[in-house]
Every structure is written in structure tokens, then in C-alpha cells.
Structure 1
């Protein structure tokens, strides 16, 4: 059978399974996406405030410690995320999602007891917090890549941009709810109860995933190692896949950079303001980051339609350009409490929506169904490398050169990748196997 015929046969088989899905299956997926984003974002957003108010971390080490904790969690994720994608091809996506929610929820509920555990075993409380955050992050690693792969399972290539836009919309909705609503709670009920709320959401996610999600693949319990050669040959053949991986290197950490460093900037800048507490600063930062989430929320459906209309690679080009300009313009802001910060935040939000949605769409398009989880595992592994790199560099820049430098650095990298994406767009004859069937001349 020719490559062209095999692609059509694969798509027909995939389409027949997708057609069996009901509307409530998609709605269940969207709900669980929102819940996992609420958990992941709330834990990250609370971290600077928790370290400052509960554990007493000083300003001098704030950038490094916050970035270092996140980088260590990403390093642990890096060890597992690729292999977990392969495991999901073997046993299915849903068991990993359920166990991930359980691990994340239990450890989040135990995190308020850091000091007691520290005193009991005689270890520095920061070490205990590091361990707890690693376990919470590992739970997220079990969940999120499988959610992304399951989204690919639930869609066909023709309708994938719009359905992934719906998933992206719920991602942004979860992020926006956290910063606009839940980050107002520490000032009202305290930091520790708010951290416990994150654990409750994770346990609810485990119950919903077990009850409502359906598996779209036949798990293949065979003795086969990770398909490195298959994935490597695919990456060598498809220039579009290489672009999607590079975009994952920068795009996955965009919200981490904004959420962590902007929150840290607000919290510790408040020390210069006599009448502003750390809780009030975190609340103000939550509103600003919530605005960014709202912009992403509004932009993602538009990006879905733009991607379906002009193609994946041109959409990536536009997203990288907008995102790069937004991050670089943060260098013009001196006071995070000034209203001028709204302009670059809005620009970042518009660009971020495209940079998160479109590369994943392109990767799912180019990934064969039988190794889809493995390809997405590599995609997420590259994203982990990006998070570690930008967090470590950003933490050092934050402490040594000032709070805006992590954003400026991110802008420079996005603009450099924009130039590369332009070169990919100008070579339409490469990576065309999927695009010939989809009439996506940009790939």
C-alpha cells in the first residue's frame, strides 16, 4: 500500500472511532482540562507567597529559590515525561491521568505540614517543601501530557485546530479563574487553606477522570521498547515537527515565566511600599496575571480559526512574533503596580495563545496514531528542557540584573525562533505528507 493510501486508511479508522464519541465526552474532557489547570496554576501561583509568608524566605534569594524549585520539579518531570507517553500507548491514557490526580491531590493536602515534618526528622523545611513540590509536579506529569494526547485521540486532523482551541480555551479559563478569583483568597482565608483547596481540586479531578473519560485506543501490552528510531526518523523527515518541538522549548515555559516571576516581582516589590502587604501584592499580581489569562481565553478560539484557515506554520510565525514583542516590552516597566504593565501583558496573552495551541496541533497532525503518545512524550520532554533552561537563566537574571530581565530574555528567544519559523514557511516542499491530504500548504 502506498504512503498516500495508508494515510487515508489510518485516517478512516481514526475517524470511525471519533464518530462514536458523544458530545458529553468532549465536555467531560474540557471540564477535566480546566480542573488540572486550576491545580497546576494555583500551586505555582501560591509558591512565592507560601515561601515568603509561611516559610519566611528572604528577598535576596527569592528569584533563585523560586526558579530553582521549579527547575528541579521540571528535571524530575524530564526523567519521566517521555517514557510516560510511551506507557500511555501501551496501557492507555486514563489510568495515568487518574493516578496522577491522586498523587498530586494527596501531596498538596500534606504540604501545610512541612514545618512539622521538618522538626520531626531534623531536616531544613525548604528541603521538605522541595520534596512535596516534586511529588505534586510528578502527579501533574502523569496527568497533563496524557490529557494532551487524549485530545488528539478525540479529534480528526480536519477538525483538530478548532477542538484543540476549545481545550486551550478551558486551559486559559482555569488559569484565569486561579489568578482572578483564587489568588484573592490568601488575603481572606490565609495561604495554607488556599493550598489545601488545590489538593481538593486534584481529588475531584481523579474522580471525574475515572467516571467520565473514555479510552480511544486499544492498549497494546506488548514487549516493545520506546520507539526511538521511529520518532527520530519522523523528526528528520518532517521539518514541521522540528519547528513544533522548538516552539515547545519556548512556548511551554511562557506561563511559568509570567506566573512565577511576575508574582515574585509583585510580592517582593511590595517591601518598598509601606502600606502594601505581601498578600495584597499577591492579590494585585493575581489580577494582572488573570488579565493575561482572560486575553488568552478570548484569543484561543480566534487562533483555532486562523490556524485552520492559513495553516499551522504561518500561525506559529505570527504567534512567535507577537509573543516576542510582548515579552521584550516588559523591559519598559519599572513599577509592576503601575497600569502601564497592562499593555505588554495583553500583547503576551495574544501571542501566548497561539504559541501554546498551534505547535501542539502540528505535532498531533504529524504523529502516527500508533506512536502518538510517544511523539507527544518527546514533545513534552523538549518542553521540560525549555522550562529548566529558562527558569535557571531567568532566576539568575532576576536576582542579578532586575525583575524585568527574565521577560526580556524570553522575548529575544521568541524573536529568534520567529526568524527560524519564517525560513520553514518559505520551504513548503518539506514535511508535506500530511499537508497533501489536508491541503495545509504551509507545512
Structure 2
């Protein structure tokens, strides 16, 4: 078992760092946050002015790019977190800056291709966003882990608060100042050059000034897999379960606001009589105000979490941010300066939640797996970002520009209720921040609520906006609703397919009890997807449906996949396994491999040329099918993938 989380490693106190090295750490965090923020803030303007994306597709295409970047980043940055426990943090930080430099260089090339050929430059822009996201997130995550290595329970709130302060300063305030150049001739080009220069400078500063303070943990054949150790820590501590549920929403805050508030400003710029570059600059100013609120609130929250329960801090900060999001969703004009008030609320709430999550994760993590724990938190936050940005893109196009903010507010309220439930059931901290009891909490309700959220968001938002009338979705475009449900069906199919490999690689056997629930949710969203096509799109007109299938044969692939999925859903219960017999049941459920392949092809053929998301999903299916085939042939994938 891992050593105690507070077991001191020799030479790893805050005093061992010279003031110069602390200044370098804070500066590098600012640089990493600035690179990430600029790549997100400039994206809507580039897609509109350079790549010529149509207005009605802006929300979905912007969301698709962010989703693709997050999916790749989840895999890469999560792996780097595991690797940093073995080879040290500084090497990974330097690697992150190098990846960002390559991404920034490709962005300049995509700009020239976009100016010459329009949407043809989107492929390069997808690659740019992936590389910049992976590089910047790797830098920020590993710097947080490095500070976790050197801090103690007594000084951790202060040191983590300082780090969050600098990250927010770079990602909001500094980015807002830089984005004002967008309204001047040549300003867009200069903004795109800055991540390149910042990445080169960050790489040099890392190589010359940073050093690791925690000794690398060499792997041994007898060691428990790091991911299994992470799972043990999380499942044994209800605070960590709350922290990871909160991370699901908190990491997406700045991305959601930077992306969709900018899109909102651009979408109404013609109506209010301003240019789109001015709208982008205005959005950056408002995000800068949010950053100012975060900066002002960090010291206050730092003092709060030193004196009060971290569970209470998470609940209070999430509820404040949730109210800010819902209030923001009630405004009709983003150029109304009163919009700053809900943004300030979101910023104050975000500051409290983010600092608390950083401190709590490091407090509860055994030192030998600190990198893996921080990486797991990033993984959950990344999955949340994927779900929220994907849903937000559809809502932006289908239900209006304010819809993504209502989505964020309702989700945060759900986690707030979970925090309140923990406190009501006596699960809280002592005055020295240890759990009062060793009670554990089953994850099934949380998994169920999370899986149901996309459907709740769709129905809830439609009801709030009054789009449901006479049994139809009225003004909500049926095509968006249909694709939204189909995307979520495929997402849960892939998650279900991935659960067995993850279980085998990590040895976390308890994952098996969630696989059936995830698979049934995949079936649920598939049923909703088919019903939307049959009842909403074609009003049960069989003749028109057959004509549409003839024109678009990829629909037939989806219907075949759905037909194969039906018997799998109806035979998922334990009673059916006993009735059919284990061997026959396994043979029947091996159809899931065929289903995933058919849906991947269906998704690719149905997508438009601006959308790179289907290819990432298809790549995930190919990797998972290769894994199963290799295991079936008796390969040693498990041995090859285990760290060490």
C-alpha cells in the first residue's frame, strides 16, 4: 500500500526552494495559462473571419474543436501524470512547453492556409488546438504537482492559492489585455505569435531554473498499479468523491465562458452595430473582469479553507458559481455592462472551488502517487469539459447563446446538493481537516446522475425556454436534437467498451458493477436518437423515411447497429444471464464490437467536413477493438501497458 500522504520526503520543504525558484514557478504557471487562454479566446474569431464557418454552425464547430482537443489531452496529460511519478516533474514540464511550441508554429501555418483556402485550413487548426491544449495543460498540471511535492498541510493553502492566483492572472487578466490587439491591423497575427514565443521562453526557463524535489518512485513488479492506488484513495474518502465530482464542472469554467461568451458577443455584433473584432475584444474584457474577481477572492477562500471544512467550502463556492451562471443566462444582451455582476459571482465561486480542490487533492494523496492523483483529477475535469462543451455547442446553435450558461449552473447545483447530502449524513471534517468517520459512499447514484445529465439538460432547457409545445420541440432544430442524442449514445457505447480494458489494465475489479449501467444508458440515448429521427424529423411517415435512407445510406448503418443493440439491452439483467447461460450470453454480447464499428462508420459518414470529432471517436474504437483482438490472440498488452 502507498505511504501516508503526509510522510515527509527528505529535502522537500518549501524552505528548500529559493525565492528565485518560486518566482520562476509562478511565472511559468502564468505563461502556461496565457497560452491556453489565447488559443481558446482567438478561436471563434478565426473560425468566423479566416476559415469562413457559417453562423449557424459556429457553436457546433467551436465545440467540436474543443472536444477533440480535450479528448486527446485527457489521454496524453493523464499519462504524463503517471509518468511524472517515475521520471520527475521537471522533464514533463519541459516536454509540455515543447509540445506547445510545435502547436503554436502549426497555428501560424494554419492561419496562412486559412487565408488562402478558407475552411481547408481547419485540419491544421484542429492539430494546433490539440497540441496547444496538451502542452499548456501538461505545464499547469505538473507545476501544481511540483508545488504539492514541496508543500505541507500547514502551508499548502497559501502555496496553492498563490499558484492559482498566477494561473488565473495569466489565463484571464493578461489574456484580456493581449486580446485587445485583435481590433488593430495585424493584431490577430501578433496574438498567434505570442504562444510560440512564450513556449520557447518557458522551455528555457524550465531547463535552467527548475529542479525536482521529490525523488522519483521506481516501479517494482510487486508494486500495486498506480491507478489502482488512485482508485483506493478515492473510494475510501467521500471528500475525494465530492472533489472529483466538483472537478467535473470546475475545470470547464474558463473554457465555457471564454468560448461561448465570445461566440455570444460575435453572434449579436451585427445587431448592436459593432465589428466582430470589437466583440471579441469586449468578450476578453469581460473575461478579464471574471479573472479579477478570482484574483480578489483567492486570498479570502484560502483563509476560509484553513478554518473550515473543505466540504463546506466546495458546497458554498459551487452554489455561488451556479447562481452566477443562471443569472448570466437571463441576460438578452452580452454588451450590457451589468453582465459583469454574474460574471463576478462565477469568478468568486470558481476561485473557492479551484483552490479547495487543489489543496484537498494534495492533502489526501500519498506522496508516491501524487502525480497519478493530480492526473486523475485532470482526467475527470477533462471528461466534464468534453461533456459540457459538446452539449454547450449544440445548445448554443439549437436553443440560443445563453443555453450553455444555464447548463453549467444546473450541473453545479447538482454537485452542491451532493455536498449538502454528505454534510446532512454526518460526513465532514474535524478541525484539523481529517474525516470524522471512516464511512464510505457508493458511487452508483453519482454515476447514474452524471449519465442522465445530458438528457436532463436537453429536456430541462427546452422546458425553461418554452420550446416544447403540442408535443414537439418547436423552435429547437430537430437536426441538432437528433445529433445531440446520437453523439451521447456513441459516447456511452465507447465508455462501456473501454471499461473492461481499463479494469484489466488497472486491476480495479469494482469497475465491473458500473459497466451494465453505462451500457444501458447507451441504449437509452440510442432509443431517443431513433425516436427523434422517426417521430420528430419525419413524423412517422414511413415513405419519406425510406426515401431519406435511400439518399443517405449511412442511416441504414445506424439502424442495423440499433437493431443489434436491442437484444443486448434486454439480456443485461443477471436473471437473463442465468437463463441463457454464461457462454451463450458472452457470445451474444460480443456483438458490441460490431455495433461500435458500425456506429463509428455511421458517425463519420454523417458528419460535415468541418467536424473532426467523428475521427477521434473512430480512432478510440479502433484502439479498443485492437486491444480486444490482441488479448483474444493471447497477446501481452497488459504487460506492455503497465507502468514499469
TM over 0.5: yes
Q: 1:214 aligns with which of 206, 211, 218?
A: 211
Is 1:194 aligned to 2:194, yes or no?
no
CA distance in 2, matches of 1:221, 1:364: 21
Contact 2:269-2:276 within 8 A present in 1 as well? yes
**Residue 226 of structure 2 corresponds to which residue in structure 1?**
227
Pairing 1:306-385 to 2, within 5 Å after superposition: 306-385=304-383
CA distance in 2, matches of 1:126, 1:311: 47
**Residue 278 of structure 1 corresponds to which residue in structure 2?**
276
CA distance in 1, matches of 2:106, 2:387: 29
CA drift of 1:19 comes to 3.4
The structure with higher relative contact order (CA 8 Å, sep 6+) is 1
CA drift of 1:222 comes to 3.0
Contact 1:41-1:178 within 8 A present in 2 as well? no
**Rg larger for:** 2
Contact 1:36-1:144 within 8 A present in 2 as well? yes
| Cα-Cα RMSD | 2.5
Cα separation, partners in 2 of 1:122 and 1:262, compared to 1, 3 Å: closer
Q: 1:160 aligns with which of 147, 156, 161?
A: 156
Q: Which region of structure 1 is more displaced relative to structure 2, 313-322 or 137-146? A: 137-146
CA distance in 1, matches of 2:111, 2:181: 22
Is 1:46 aligned to 2:42, yes or no?
yes
Q: 2:201 aligns with which of 189, 199, 204?
A: 204
Contact 1:18-1:155 within 8 A present in 2 as well? yes
**Residue 301 of structure 2 corresponds to which residue in structure 1?**
303
Gaps of 5+ in 1: none
CA distance in 2, matches of 1:121, 1:293: 36
**Residue 424 of structure 1 corresponds to which residue in structure 2?**
422
Contact 2:35-2:132 within 8 A present in 1 as well? no
Contact 1:75-1:388 within 8 A present in 2 as well? yes
Q: Which region of structure 1 is more displaced relative to structure 2, 295-304 or 214-223? A: 214-223
**Residue 238 of structure 1 corresponds to which residue in structure 2?**
237
Contact 1:270-1:281 within 8 A present in 2 as well? yes
CA distance in 1, matches of 2:433, 2:330: 43
Q: 1:81 aligns with which of 77, 82, 89?
A: 77
- TM-score (norm: length of structure 2): 0.64
> What secondary structure, in the 3-state scheme, does the structure 2 residue paired with 1:365 have?
helix
CA drift of 1:232 comes to 1.3
> What secondary structure, in the 3-state scheme, does the structure 1 residue paired with 2:42 have?
helix
Gaps of 5+ in 2: 439-644
CA drift of 1:23 comes to 2.4
- TM-score (norm: length of structure 1): 0.92
> What secondary structure, in the 3-state scheme, does the structure 1 residue paired with 2:329 have?
helix
CA drift of 1:107 comes to 2.0
**Residue 256 of structure 2 corresponds to which residue in structure 1?**
257
CA distance in 2, matches of 1:325, 1:121: 44
CA drift of 1:295 comes to 0.7
CA distance in 2, matches of 1:437, 1:78: 34
Contact 1:311-1:441 within 8 A present in 2 as well? no
Pairing 1:55-70 to 2, within 5 Å after superposition: 55-70=51-66
CA distance in 1, matches of 2:10, 2:294: 30
CA distance in 1, matches of 2:338, 2:111: 39
Query: Deviation per CA, 1:337-394, whole angstroms, max 9, x where unpaired?
Result: 1112111111111111112111121111100000111111111100110000000000
CA distance in 1, matches of 2:352, 2:111: 42
> What secondary structure, in the 3-state scheme, does the structure 1 residue paired with 2:268 have?
helix
Cα separation, partners in 2 of 1:45 and 1:122, compared to 1, 3 Å: closer
Q: Which region of structure 1 is more displaced relative to structure 2, 33-42 or 122-131? A: 122-131
> What secondary structure, in the 3-state scheme, does the structure 1 residue paired with 2:7 have?
helix
CA distance in 2, matches of 1:14, 1:92: 15
**Residue 142 of structure 2 corresponds to which residue in structure 1?**
146
CA drift of 1:56 comes to 1.7
CA distance in 1, matches of 2:271, 2:174: 26
Cα separation, partners in 2 of 1:152 and 1:427, compared to 1, 3 Å: farther
**Residue 100 of structure 1 corresponds to which residue in structure 2?**
96
Query: Deviation per CA, 1:292-344, whole angstroms, max 9, x where unpaired?
Result: 11111111111111111113111111101101100011121001011121111
Query: Deviation per CA, 1:83-118, whole angstroms, max 9, x where unpaired?
Result: 211100000011111111112123213312226558
Cα separation, partners in 2 of 1:370 and 1:325, compared to 1, 3 Å: same
Pairing 1:123-142 to 2, within 5 Å after superposition: 124-142=120-138
**Residue 386 of structure 1 corresponds to which residue in structure 2?**
384
Contact 1:186-1:194 within 8 A present in 2 as well? yes
Cα separation, partners in 2 of 1:242 and 1:147, compared to 1, 3 Å: same
> What secondary structure, in the 3-state scheme, does the structure 2 residue paired with 1:11 have?
coil
Pairing 1:9-28 to 2, within 5 Å after superposition: 10-13=6-9, 17-28=13-24
